[in-house]
Amino acid sequence: MEQDHQMTKEDFEATFKKLPESAIFRLPLSLVHGVPLMKPIADQWERVETFQARPDDIFIVTYPKAGTTWIQEIVDSIMNDGDLEKNMRAPTHVRSPFLELFPPPPMPSGVDALNITPSPRLVKTHLPYKLVPISFWEKKCKTIYFARNLKDNAVSCYFFDQMNKSQPDPGTWDEYVEKYLKGEMSWGNWFDHVIGWWNAKDKHDILYIFYEDMKEDPKREMRKVTKFLGKNLSEEVLDKIFHHTTFEAMKENPMANYSTVPNIVFDQTISPFMRKGEVGDWMNYFTESQSKMFDTEYEERMKGTDLKFRTTI
Ligand code: PPS
């Protein structure tokens, strides 16, 4: 079903072109309860905080660049019982609106888009556990947390921040790794995020899964998601979903590759949204000393948790 809040790429572009670049692009981040967020989110925080969940909402939660779009496509496919025509109804951000996003009007905010999305809604958020609207838990919504290892996550963020003008300028890779480890990033520190959600997983209806596991054996992980969502799909349907959600298929799919976002915002000539989709790409960018610095911080920060990540498969 087409949804009312779908705007064309041209509408998007026209809106951005009307505004001075300095008012919308490369803005510094603002703190919300100690977490750095994009300024428009901080300015309209009350709208996020008071967001009303519905009991059949499915929350898809990630740290940025952990593979959100991938798990969104998988969840939508499962919810459509493998009827992939339905996945082609609209781009990812319309099928699964981004709760805390506030693009310049008249583009709808995530909250406005969600308010007119029919149930069951697939709600995307990058919020750390401590910032989640209370209504999430009051309504006992099912939540899928998709996590990716620190090093690949950092590389993916670096390339994204170069092409995505709504984020602060990433600077050089050497500058970026320092900032990344300190958590001076949109949505804050990677450790706080992955550990916060890990600790929450037994208190709520949360399925915590990993990018690396999904790469290793997609159908095994998709079966976990299917079961968690209370669905029962045949192997044949799972096969279809597997083929539909490979990196190669999604890179070519205009409803999944963000080609509907104008270049003025996502300049995919700098770096494509579907960049590499691999585990271990970090080895192409980290120097030995940067890798050691990350390993040291990882050991320190992960002490006392049984949460484990793999940086290779
Ligand atoms: S965002 O902007 O936070 O929503 O971005 P997000 O979707 O979380 O992350 C984008 C990265 O996920 C990779 N990706 C995939 N990997 C494997 N298989 C599939 N199907 C897939 N779809 C997206 C995408 O390539 C980005 O990772 P990098 O490492 O940059 O390639």
- Statement: 21-301 belongs to CATH 3.30.160.60: no
What is the structure's pLDDT at 163?
97
Q: Model pTM?
A: 0.97
What is the structure's pLDDT at 8?
82
* Distances from the Cα of 287 to the Cα of 26, 90, 173, 185, 190, angstroms: 27, 41, 10, 21, 20
Pocket of ligand 1 (CB under 6 A): 62, 64-70, 152, 156, 159, 245-247, 250, 274-277, 281
What is the structure's pLDDT at 3?
45
Please choose from 61, 150, 156, 267 the residue to mutate so as to test ligand 1's pocket, defined by most ligand atoms within 8 A of CB. Answer: 156
Q: How far is the CA of 140 from the centre of ligand 1 (A)?
A: 28
CB 33 within 8 A of CB 131: yes
**Which residues have a Cβ under 8 Å from the Cβ of 133 and sit 6 or more positions away?**
48, 49, 50, 51, 53
Distance from the Cα of residue 143 to its chain's centroid: 13
In DSSP terms, 199 is beta-bridged to none
Ligand 1: nearest atom to the Cα of 66: 8
Q: What is the DSSP string of 5-17?
A: T---HHHHHHHHH
Ligand 1: nearest atom to the Cα of 275: 31
Q: How far is 120 from 84, CA to CA, in rounded Å? A: 17
Please choose from 37, 38, 69 the residue to mutate so as to test ligand 1's pocket, defined by most ligand atoms within 8 A of CB. Answer: 69
List active site positions: 126
Q: What spatial distance separates the first Cα and last Cα of the chain, rounded to whole Å?
A: 39
Q: How far is the CA of 18 from the centre of ligand 1 (A)?
A: 30
Which parts of the chain have pLDDT scores under 50? 1-4
What is the structure's pLDDT at 284?
98
Q: How far is the CA of 187 from the centre of ligand 1 (A)?
A: 17
- Give per-residue pLDDT as tens, 139-153: 999 999 999 999 999
* Distances from the Cα of 297 to the Cα of 83, 174, 180, 285, 301, angstroms: 44, 16, 12, 18, 6
